[in-house]
Amino acid sequence: RLPVPKLEDTITRYLNAQKPLLNDDQFRKTEELAHAFEKGIGRELHEQLVAQDSQNKHTSYITGPWFDMYLKAREPVVLNFNAFMSFNPDPKPEYNDQLIRATNMTVSAIRFMKTFRAGYLEPEVFHLNPEKSDTEIFKKIIRFVPSSVSWFGAYMVNAYPLDMSQYFRLFNSTRLPKLDKDELYTDEKAKHLLVLRNGNFYVFDVIDRDGNMLKPSEIQAHLKYILSDNSPAPAFPLGYLSSENRDTWALLRKNLLENGNEEALQKVDSALFCLSLDDFPIKDFVHVSHTMLHGDAANRWYDKSFNLIITKDGTAGINFEHSWGDGVAVLRFQNEVFKDSTNTPAISPQSQPASVDSSSAVQKLDFKLNDALKAGITKAKQKFDATVESLSLNLIQFQEGGKELLKQKKVSPDAVAQLAFQMAFLRQYDQTVATYESCSTAAFKHGRTETIRPATVHTKKCSEAFVKELSKHSTEELQKLIVECSKYHGRLTKEAAMGQGFDRHLFSLRCLALSKGLPLPDFYQDQAYARLNHNIISTSTLVSPAVQLGGFGPVVADGFGVGYQVHDDWIGCNVSSYPARNGKEFLQCTHKSLEDIFNVLKGKKIGS
Instruction: Give catalytic residue positions.
Output: 322
What CA dihedral angle connects 206, 212, 217 and 222, to 10 degrees? -20
With contact defined as beta carbons under 8 Å apart, do 544 and 444 qualify?
A: no
Concatenated DSSP letters of 92-129: SGGGGSHHHHHHHHHHHHHHHHHHHHTT-SPPPEEESS
Give the separation between CA 513 and CA 520, rounded to whole angstroms: 7
With contact defined as beta carbons under 8 Å apart, do 276 and 299 qualify?
A: yes
Burial of residue 576, with CB atoms counted within 10 A of its CB: 0-12 exposed, 13-18 middle, 19 or more buried: buried
With contact defined as beta carbons under 8 Å apart, do 206 and 219 qualify?
A: yes
Q: How far is CA 170 from the centre of its chain?
A: 14
Burial of residue 426, with CB atoms counted within 10 A of its CB: 0-12 exposed, 13-18 middle, 19 or more buried: buried
HEC string of 341-405 equals: HHHCCCCCCCCCCCCCCHHHHCEECCCCCCHHHHHHHHHHHHHHHHHHHHCEEEEEEECCCCHHH
Element (H, E) at 86: strand 83-87
What CA dihedral angle connects 277, 278, 284 and 285, to 10 degrees? -50
Residue 449 pairs in a beta bridge with 440
Element (H, E) at 285: helix 285-293
Q: What is the DSSP letter of 31?
A: H
Q: From residue 422, how far is each of 25, 262, 294, 327, 460 by CA, in Å?
A: 23, 50, 28, 24, 7
With contact defined as beta carbons under 8 Å apart, do 481 and 596 qualify?
A: no
**Residues whose CB is less than 8 angstroms from the CB of residue 17 and which lie 6 or more positions away in sequence, other chains included:** 453, 455, 456, 502, 532
Q: What b-and-e string marks burial along 506-545, b requiring 16 or more CB atoms within 10 Å of the CB?
A: bbbbbbbbeeeeeeebebbebebbebbbebbbbbbbbbbe
With contact defined as beta carbons under 8 Å apart, do 561 and 555 qualify?
A: yes
Number of H helices, E strands in the chain: 23, 18
187-193: long-range contacts, CB 8 A cutoff, minimum separation 24: 187/269, 187/270, 188/117, 189/270, 190/270, 190/271, 190/272, 191/272, 192/267, 192/270, 192/271, 192/272, 193/106, 193/271, 193/272, 193/273, 193/275
What CA dihedral angle connects 216, 218, 222 and 224, to 10 degrees? 70
